[in-house]
Amino acid sequence: MKRYVYINDNESSHKLYCDNRISNRKYTVLNFLPKNLWEQFGRFMNQYFLLIACLQLWSLITPVNPASTWGPLIFIFAVSASKEAWDDYNRYFSDKKANEKLVWVVRQGIRKHIQAQDIHVGNIVWLRENDEVPCDLVLIGTSDPQGLCYVETSALDGETDLKTRVIPATCMGIDFELLHKIKGVIECPNPDKDIRRFDANLRLFPPFIDNDVCPLTIKNTILQSCYLRNTEWACGVAVYTGNETKLGMSRGIPEPKLTAMDAMIDKLTGAIFVFQIVVVMVLGIAGNVWKDTEARKQWYVLYPLEGPWYELLVIPLRFELLCSIMIPISIKVSLDLVKSLYAKFIDWDSEMIDYETGIPSHATNTAISEDLGQVEYIMTDKTGTLTENRMIFRRCCISGVFYGNESGDALKDTKLLNAVAVSSPDVVQFVTVMAICNTVIPIKSKTGAILYKAQSQDEDALVNAAAQLHMVYANKNANILEIRFNGSVIKYELLEILEFTSDRKRMSVVVKDCQNGKFVLLSKGADEAILPYAYDGQQTRTFIEAVEQYAQLGLRTLCLAWRELKEDEYQEWSLMFKEASSTLVDREWRIAEVCQRLERDFEVLGVTAIEDRLQDGVPETIETLRKAGINFWMLTGDKQNTAIQIALSCNFISPEPKGQLLLIDGKTEDEVCRSLERVLLTMRITSSEPKDVAFVVDGWALEIALKHYRKVFTELAILSRTAICCRVTPSQKAQLVELLKSCDYRTLAIGDGGNDVRMIQQADIGVGISGREGLQAARAADYSIGKFRFLKRLILVHGRYSYNRTAFLSQYSFYKSLVICFIQIFFSFISGVSGTSLFNSVSLMAYNVFYTSVPVLVSVLDKDLSEGTVMQHPQILFYCQAGRLLNPSTFAGWFGRSLFHAIVVFVITIHAYAYEKSEMEELSMVALSGCIWLQAFVVALETNSFTILQHLAIWGNLVAFYVINWIISAIPASGMYTIMFRLCRQPSYWITMFLIVAAGMGPVLALKYFRYTYRPSKINTLQQAERMGGPILTLGNIEPQPRSIEKEVSPLSITQPKSRSPVYEPLLSDSPNSSRKSMGSGTPFDFFQSQSRLSSSYSRNCKDN
Q: Which sequence positions are flagged as catalytic?
A: 381
Bond preceding residue 1066 cis, omega within 30 of 0 = no
Phi-psi region of 322 (alpha: psi -120 to 50; beta: other; left: phi over 0): alpha
As a residue count, the chain comes to 1105
The alpha carbons of the chain give a radius of gyration, in whole angstroms, of: 36
The dihedral built from the CA positions of residue 696, 701, 707 and 708, taken in this order, carries a sign that is negative
Least Cα distance to 347 among 328, 366, 372 occurs for 366
CA torsion angle 867 871 872 873 (round to 10): 100
Task: Please state, in angstroms and rounded to a whole number, the distance separating the CA atoms of residues 331 and 806.
Answer: 11
Residue 490 CA, chain-centre distance (Å), reads 50
Q: How many Å is the maximal CA-CA distance in the chain? A: 122
Burial class (CB in 10 A: 0-12, 13-18, 19+), 1055: exposed
Pairing of strands 519-525, 506-513: antiparallel
DSSP 1063: -
b/e 564-590 (16+ beta carbons within 10 angstroms → b):
ebeeeebeebeebbeebbbeeeebeeb
**776, 155 Cβ separation under 8 angstroms:** no
Phi-psi region of 541 (alpha: psi -120 to 50; beta: other; left: phi over 0): alpha
DSSP 1078: P
**808, 781 Cβ separation under 8 angstroms:** no
Please give the backbone phi and psi of residue 10, each rounded to the nearest 5 degrees, phi first: -80, -5
Which residues, including other chains, have CB under 8 Å from residue 656's CB and lie 6 or more apart?
Answer: none
Residue 350's alpha-carbon distances to 547, 764, 801, in angstroms, are 43, 26, 17
Task: Please state, in angstroms and rounded to a whole number, the distance separating the CA atoms of residues 1047 and 876.
Answer: 35
Which residues, including other chains, have CB under 8 Å from residue 982's CB and lie 6 or more apart?
Answer: 922
**One-letter identity of residue 608:** T
Task: Please state, in angstroms and rounded to a whole number, the distance separating the CA atoms of residues 747 and 767.
Answer: 11
Residue 370 CA, chain-centre distance (Å), reads 13
Task: Please state, in angstroms and rounded to a whole number, the distance separating the CA atoms of residues 776 and 154.
Answer: 9
Provide the β-strand partners of residue 661: 694
Angle at the Cα of 899 from the Cα atoms of 1070 and 860, rounded to 5 degrees: 55
Residue 192 CB: number of other CB atoms within 10 A? Answer: 13
Pairing of strands 136-142, 233-240: antiparallel
Which residues, including other chains, have CB under 8 Å from residue 43's CB and lie 6 or more apart?
Answer: 332
Alpha-helical runs (H) found in 668-756: 669-685, 699-708, 710-719, 730-742
For every residue of 252-308, which 3-state class applies, written as one string? Answer: CCCCCCCCHHHHHHHHHHHHHHHHHHHHHHHHHHHHHHHHHHCHHHCCCCCCCCCCC
Pairing of strands 377-380, 747-751: parallel
Residue 822 CB: number of other CB atoms within 10 A? Answer: 22
